Amino acid sequence: MNDFTLIRDIERYLEGEMSEQERTAFEALRQSNPAVNEQVLMHQQLIQQLDQYGQRVAFQEKMDKIHASLAIDEVLPPSRTAPPTKIFTISRRLITNMAAAACIALITSLSTIALMQNANRQKTTAQYEDVRRVLNNIQRSQNALINDINSKKKAPANPGTYGGTGFAISNNGYVVTNYHVIAGADSIYIQNTKGEAFKAASVFEDISSDLAILKITDSTFKGQPLPYTLKPQHALRGEAVFTLGYPRDEIVYGEGYISAQTGFNGDSAAYQVSIPVNPGNSGAPLMDSKGDVVGIVTGKQTTSDGIAFAVKSAHLKRLLEEMPKDKLPKKEWNHKNRLGGLTRVDQVKKLEDFVYMVKVYN
Amino acid sequence: MKHNQNIERDRELLLGLTRNDDRALATIYTENYPSILRMVLQYNGSEDDAKDLFQEAMIILYEKAQKGEFDLYSKLKTFLYAVCRHLWLKKLQTGNWQLALPDELEEVLPAEDANTIAEHEEKDQQFRVMEKTMSTMGEPCKTILEDYYIRKLSMQDIAGKFGYTNSENAKNQKYKCLMRLKKLFFEQYKS
């Protein structure tokens, strides 16, 4: 066997071109002839080296191609040779000139800084005024929720200056409404869906959360056991809610959902609610699907549609706990929910009796 | 978080390099070469020095990636910097490089990576031998072998290119060339 046929056989063997028969024959030859076996191993090594060589040359070629396409000028520093240092003498005249120039430069820059700072300050005050104006707007919008009954030219037999909504929180005549509804009131009347009116007096006010608790003082008033509770947990974003209020003389139903866990300006004691709200809805209860009270409608944002705010029921609960116990013992406002399984129509029918129109005279 | 994302991206690039993806190679090259170049120039090296240094580091990275067992624990940039530092040191020691070693090349190469470099040097040695052998091969052997082992052409294509009547003839020519290469290579290799 000469060298050529041997190398051909090795190549065909390694490249897998041999038939099964040839293969077994060649392997037998490898076994019996150590010289052949050594040649095979050497050949394997050579091919491996060649492959690696090939890979690397190919890689190098690719890199050179990339290298050639690089814009080297961009990464080069602008000048690589340091400029020769020049020595020159500084004359007295030059010094005075330079000093004068430096002074002018200093004055200019200082005055520029002063001007800029002044301008900046003016700008911030302007922004601040802006914010305040927005706040005023909201204030106005909240006030606007108080229904101006006079302007509607109502029957003189039923005179009232402002109106809002309130709802019972106890069996014995305690009612919650908004503080802004009864603020500055001479006298307050509560009117139910049947048209019966009762005199009431404010017993507790919390200006910061805009809540007021009224007590019906009329002896003719007869309480009923409440079918709902004040929900102690926070309602979740997206939870469906509904409300009953008196934007007109008749009770009106509206529904929507909790849109955010904080109220106007990030007020954590309130929710942002997407629900139709009109002047007169102030103090209306916000109920969840079970009929439990989750909040009290207080106002809406005038600048955009569909944004209303409601104080959280948890906050109301906290207020009730703070109240003197002799006025309103806990058992009076802690009830069991009896609306859970009912349809919305039945829930509303039951709830109507506990939601009142609040009329304020001053 | 951002750091991790960077490593993820670098790992992607490395995978691309393993798959011989030209785009990954180009990305790594163009993103990392400028900083090495700037550094070499700062130490009064030439553009060619930078190119040699960086390309050698890239070859090490490529060989490591090809082995498939390379997992990236630092950023590619850091790895390349560290490798460049080692190569720089080596070149200083062997005396074919006159540039002082910059301090900014931190010693961040783990011991395992130092092995990588030793491994690379052995491979580099073999590569030089093969390079020299190939350069002494005459035509058409040199081109046939290059076409088959570097450019990965099929024997069919090579037969067509060199005007052989069929691929069997071309193969016979290749065997002859291999025989010659084997002889020359092992002469060099053993010396």
Of B153, B178, B180, B179, the C-alpha closest to B167 is B153
> What is the per-residue pLDDT for A279?
79
Which of the residues A9, A180, A267, A288 is marked catalytic? A180
Q: Is A64 a catalytic residue?
A: no
Q: Do B179 and A43 touch (CB under 8 A)?
A: no
**Which one has a higher pLDDT value, A258 or B132?**
A258
User: Which pair of structure tokens corresponds to residue A181?
Assistant: 């509804």
Paired sense of beta strands A240-245 and A355-361, if any: unpaired
pLDDT of residue A134: 38
Q: Which amino acid is at A335?
A: H
Half-sphere CA count of B60, side-chain side, radius 13 A: 26
Per-residue model confidence (pLDDT) at position B109? 54
Rounded (5°) CA angle B122-B41-B127: 15
**8 Å CB contact of A46 and B178:** yes
Q: Which residues pair with A254 in a beta bridge?
A: A243
Interface A-B, measured as beta-carbon pairs within 8 A, has a size of 91
Q: What's the pTM value of the predicted model, to 2 decimals?
A: 0.42
The catalytic position among A170, A209, A282, A313 is A282
CA distance B94 to chain A (A): 23
Q: How much is the mean pLDDT over chain A?
A: 78
Q: Which of A277-286, A323-332, B14-23, B101-110 has the lowest mean pLDDT?
A: B101-110
**Contact at CB, A62 and B22, closer than 8 angstroms:** yes
Type of residue numbered A356: Y
Closest Cα in chain B, distance from residue A66 (Å): 6
- Calculate what percentage of chain A has a pLDDT beyond 90: 11
Q: Which of A50, A63, A72 sits opposite B29 (nearest CB)?
A: A63
Minimum mean pLDDT among A19-33, A66-80, B87-101: which range?
A66-80
Confidence of residue A104 (pLDDT cuts 50, 70, 90): very high
> Which segment, A109-113, B22-26, B85-89, is predicted with the most confidence on average?
A109-113
Which pLDDT score is estimated for A243? Answer: 92
ipTM of the complex as predicted: 0.79
> Which of B51, B150, B176 is closest, CB to CB, to A57?
B150
Task: Give the gap in angstroms from C-alpha B49 to the nearest C-alpha of chain A.
Answer: 13
- Whether the CB-CB separation of A322 and A213 falls below 8 Å is answered with no
pLDDT for the residue numbered B101: 60
Structure confidence at residue B122 (pLDDT): 79
Smallest Cα–Cα separation from B117: which of B92, B93, B82? B82
Can you read off the two tokens belonging to residue B128? Answer: 């030089």
Of A183-187, B87-91, B114-118, give the range with the top mean pLDDT. A183-187
A11 contacts on B by Cβ (under 8 Å): 171, 174-175, 178
Of the ranges A20-29, A129-138, B108-117, B174-183, which one carries the lowest mean pLDDT score? A129-138
Comparing A302-316, A323-337, B124-138, which segment has the lowest mean pLDDT?
A: A323-337
The owner of tokens 């010094």 is A95
> Would the CB atoms of A51 and B174 count as touching at under 8 Å?
no
Q: Verify whether the Cβ–Cβ distance B145 to A51 is below 8 Å.
A: no
pLDDT for the residue B113: 62
Comparing CA positions, the residue from B185, B191, B59, B180 lying closest to residue B130 is B185
Contact: B22, A42; criterion CB under 8 Å: no
Residue A208 pLDDT > 50:
yes
Q: Do A75 and B38 touch (CB under 8 A)?
A: yes
Highest-scoring range by mean pLDDT, A89-98, A106-115, A125-134, A150-159 = A106-115
pLDDT at A285: 92
Best residue in A39, A47, A61, A66 to probe B by mutation, most B CBs within 10 Å? A66
Q: List C-alpha distances in Å: A248 to A47, A106, A273, A335.
A: 96, 70, 21, 30
Task: Look at residue A63 in the predicted model and tell me its pLDDT.
Answer: 85
Q: How far apart are CA A249 and CA A79, in angstroms?
A: 86
A279 Cα distance to chain centroid = 27
Q: Model confidence over A278-298: pLDDT tens digits?
A: 878 888 999 998 888 999 988
**Lowest-pLDDT range of A6-20, A80-94, B58-72:** A80-94
For the cut 80, the answer to whether the pLDDT of residue A48 exceeds it is yes
Share of chain A above pLDDT 70, in %: 79
Query: Comparing C-alpha atoms, which of A322, A318, A313 is closest to residue A288?
Result: A313
b/e per residue A133-171 (b: at least 16 CB within 10 A):
eeeeebeebbeebbbebeeeeeeeeeebbbbbbbbbbbe
Amino acid at B65: A
Q: Which of A147-151, A347-351, B37-41, B60-64 has the highest mean pLDDT?
A: A347-351
Residue spans of alpha helices (H) in chain B: 2-18, 22-42, 47-67, 76-94, 111-136, 141-149, 155-162, 167-190
CA dihedral for A78, A82, A88, A94, sign (positive or negative): positive
Q: Which residue of A has its CA nearest to B128?
A: A53
Cβ of B186 within 8 Å of Cβ of A42? The answer is yes
pLDDT of residue A130: 36
> Tens digit of pLDDT for each residue in A310-346?
999 888 888 888 877 666 766 666 777 888 888 889 9
Cα angle value A344/A178/A154 (rounded, 5°): 80
- Shortest distance between the Cα of A68 and any Cα of chain B, in A, equals 11
| pLDDT of amino acid A359 | 86
CB A356 within 8 A of CB A224: no
A14, A47, A59, A73: best to mutate for the B interface, most B CBs within 10 A:
A59
Cis peptide before B140 (omega within 30 of 0): yes
- C-alpha span between B13 and B110 (Å, rounded): 21
Compare all CA atoms of chain B with the CA of A5 and give the residue at the minimum distance: B175
Q: What percent of chain B has pLDDT over 70?
A: 80
Furthest-apart CA atoms within chain A: distance in Å: 132
State the Cα–Cα distance between residues B139 and B154, nearest whole angstrom.
Answer: 18
Q: Which chain B residues are closer than 8 Å to A7 by Cβ? A: 175, 178-179, 182
What's at A276, amino acid-wise? Answer: P
For the cut 90, the answer to whether the pLDDT of residue A185 exceeds it is no
Residue A112 has pLDDT above 70, yes or no: yes
Residues of A in contact with B47 (CB under 8 A): 72
SS3 category, B95: coil
**Secondary structure of chain A in the HEC alphabet?**
CCHHHHHHHHHHHHCCCCCHHHHHHHHHHHHHCHHHHHHHHHHHHHHHHHHHHHHHHHHHHHHHHHHHHCCHHHHCCCCCCCCCCCCCCCCHHHHHHHHHHHHHHHHHHHHHHHHHHHHHHHHHHHHHHHHHHHHHHHHHHHHHCCEECHHHCCCCCCCCCEEEEEEECCCCCEEEEEHHHHCCCCEEEEECCCCCEEEEEEEEEECCCCEEEEEECCCCCCCCCCCCCECCCCCCCCCEEEEEECCCCCCEEEEEEEEECCCHHHCCCEEEEECCCCCCCCCCEEEECCCCEEEEEEEECCCCCCCEEEEEHHHHHHHHHHCCCCCCCHHHHCCCCCCCCCCHHHHHHHHHHHEEEEEEEC
Query: Catalytic pick from A9, A210, A267, A288?
Result: A210
Rounded to an integer, what distance in angstroms lies between the CA atom of residue B104 and that of residue B36?
11
Based on the residue annotation, tell me whether A210 is a catalytic residue of this protein: yes
pLDDT value for A295: 92
In the numeric block, which tokens belong to residue B117? 């470099």
Mean pLDDT of B65-75: 70
The DSSP output letter for B166 is: S
Spatial separation of the C-alpha atoms in residues B7 and A164, rounded to whole Å: 62
How many angstroms away from the CA of B189 is the closest CA of chain A? 10
Spatial separation of the C-alpha atoms in residues A167 and A176, rounded to whole Å? 6
For residue A275, pLDDT beyond 60: yes
Q: Is the pLDDT of residue A160 over 70?
A: no
Radius of gyration of chain A (CA): 44
Measured between CA atoms, the residue of chain A closest to residue B58 is A63
Q: Establish whether A282 is a catalytic residue.
A: yes
